[in-house]
């Protein structure tokens, strides 16, 4: 029995010694200075992995934000103006908004250009609202700048342009506000002449 107790004690001492040596070895390793090159390599590698993962996630997300083909088609509209005569007016829809296209007579152009535009509520010369060489054509968004109603055309109002029946705003044949609560002229959309018979809006 005595021998067994002694053997158990010896084993306990050996185990304790082994644990103590292992602990010292770990403490000694932890006190050693780390290799800066190894640390930089780890940081760069981790950063690269994160960057690649972010890019892989971002690409499909950005792609999903691009407009669909049918939406792009609605971004512009081509209007045939070949059948219009001086004095005529046409209304088309573009991006859910009414657009007025007016074929102005020489008399209307003269009236619009002779106005003292600097004294208008929203000063703007007629030349800034039409295309050079195509002054007979006025293209404007048909939404009153007061509260968004659609004005009446066909030389309506006190200035032979458009009249908004909602609150009484009067626009001239250049689409400029002349009387009433509207603060701004009728907006001019982006447009161009594809040829003499076609206007592209948008």
Q: Tell me which residue of 142, 130, 140, 144 sits closest to 189, measured CA to CA.
A: 140
Q: In 10 A of CB 53, how many CB atoms?
A: 10
Q: How far apart are CA 79 and CA 150, in angstroms?
A: 20
Specify the DSSP class assigned to residue 14: H
DSSP 76: -
Tell which residue, 75, 120, 73, has the closest CA to residue 97: 75
How far is 94 from 97, CA to CA, in rounded Å?
5
Q: Which residues contact 50 (CB under 8 A, 6 or more apart)?
A: none
In the residue annotation, 167 being an active-site residue is answered as yes
Q: Do 130 and 92 meet the contact criterion of CB atoms below 8 Å apart?
A: no
In angstroms, the Cα distances linking 135 to 102, 144, 165 are 10, 22, 28
Given a contact cutoff of 8 angstroms between Cβ atoms, the answer to whether 168 and 178 are in contact is no
Pick the catalytic residue from 146, 159, 167, 170.
Answer: 167
- Residues tagged active-site: 167
């Amino acid at each position: 029995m005595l021998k067994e107790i002694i053997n158990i004690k010896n084993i306990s001492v050996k185990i304790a010694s082994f644990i103590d040596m292992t602990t010292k070895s770990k403490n000694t390793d932890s006190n050693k200075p780390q290799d800066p090159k190894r640390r930089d390599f780890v940081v760069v590698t981790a950063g690269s992995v994160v960057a690649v993962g972010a890019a892989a996630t971002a690409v499909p997300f950005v792609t999903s934000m691009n407009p669909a083909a049918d939406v792009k088609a609605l971004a512009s509209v081509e209007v045939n103006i070949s059948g219009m005569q001086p004095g005529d007016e046409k209304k088309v829809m573009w991006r859910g908004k009414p657009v007025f296209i007016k074929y102005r007579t020489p008399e209307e152009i003269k009236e619009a250009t002779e106005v003292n535009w600097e004294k208008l509520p929203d000063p703007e010369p007629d030349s800034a609202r039409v295309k050079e060489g195509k002054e007979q054509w006025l293209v404007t968004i048909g939404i009153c700048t007061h509260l968004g109603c659609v004005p009446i055309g066909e030389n309506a109002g006190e200035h032979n342009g458009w009249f908004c029946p909602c609150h009484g705003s009067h626009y001239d044949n250049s689409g400029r506000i002349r009387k009433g609560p509207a603060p701004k002229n009728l907006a001019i959309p982006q447009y161009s002449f594809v040829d003499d018979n076609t206007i592209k809006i948008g």
